[in-house]
Structure 1
C-alpha cells in the first residue's frame, strides 16, 4: 500500500490543479498519473475543455518530460494543460530574473534612428530625440527630455512606468498598450517631471510625478543606509 500519493488532483474554479510529488521517481509519477486520468473517463466527452495547471514542486522537468506529461493529459479530450509551474529555475532563468531586477544607467543623448534597449530598468541621463527609441523590460527613468519613443515593460510588466524630466514623446508604450502624442502640444504648458502608467482601464495616463508613490508604492528599492524625514 502506498504511503503517499504521487499525484493529487484538485478541482478549482478555473479547472483542475495537479500537484505532483517531487520525491518519487519520474516513472512512478507517470504510472500513477495515467491511472488517475483513467478514472476521469466517465466525464462526458462533449463537455467543455477543462484547464489543467501542473505543479511540480522542487522537481525539474526537461522539455521532453513536460511534453510527455502534456501528451498524456491531452489524451483525455476534455483536458488541456494551461501551465506547468515549478519551484526550480534553470541558470538561464535565474540570470534573466537577476537581469530584470537590474537598473542600467546610461549617460548619453539617444539620437534619431538609434535604439537603446535594456532587460531591466533604464536610467537615462540625457535626452531622447525625435526619431529615437528607448526600450526597457521594466521601468524607464529619463533625466532629460523625452521627445522620441519610449517602450517600458516590453516583456509583460504592465506595472512598469515611464518617467521623464520633460515629457513630450512622439509615442509611449507600456507592454502592449500604446499612447500617441497629441497633434499639437501646448509648448507654453510645462510638461516637467511627469510619469506615464497604465490605469485600471488599461489606458496609458500621463500625470504629475508626485502621484507615482501612490499608484506604484512598490517601485522603491531602498536597501541599506538610512532614510530621515
Structure 2
C-alpha cells in the first residue's frame, strides 16, 4: 500500500466512533426530554432525529416507528416503579409502596399518561417484569388469578388520576365570585387540609398528597374486603 493510501485509511479509521452513535438508552432519554419540553405532540420521528443530531434514516435503523420509541419510553418508566416490597412485605404495605412509586414516576411525566395507559405491554420486558412482580405479590396474598388484573387496573386508574392531581394548581377549587351561591362547597374547600393540621399539632399536608392517601387507603381496604 502506498504511503498516501495508508495515511487516508488511518484517518478514516481514527474518525470512526468507538461505539454506535445511537442506542436504545440515548433514544429513550432524548424522547423523554422532547416530551417534557414540547408535549406528546412534539414527539415526532423527525424532531427526535434532530434532537439526537442524526439523520432520520439513522434513527430508523434503530427504531422502526414512533410506536417503538414509545415502547422504549414505557419500559424505561415502568422499570423505575418500585415493586421490591412485594417480595417480603404484607400485601397492604406492598401495594402502598408500589402505588406511591408509580404515582411519583408518572407525576413527573404527565404528557405520557394518556399514551402509556393505552399502550400494549408487548415487547416491553421491564414493564412485563413489573407486572409479574405485582401479580406474584397478589397471589401470595391469596388473590384468585381471575381477579388480579382487574384489581391492578382499578389501582392504576386511580394512580394515573392522582398523578394529574399532583400537578394541579393550588387554587383549582377556588369558587371566586360564585362563593356566596355555593356556601357549603366553598366552606369545604376552605377547610380542606385543616383537620390533619389540628390533629396532634401536625402541619397541614399537601392537598394532593392527602387526597391520594385517603383514596389509596380506601381502595386497598375495599379490595382487601373482597377476599373475605
> Normalised by the size of structure 1, how large is the TM-score?
0.29
Q: More relative contact order in 1 or in 2 (CA 8 Å, sep 6+)?
A: 2
More helix as a share of residues: 2
> Normalised by the size of structure 2, how large is the TM-score?
0.29
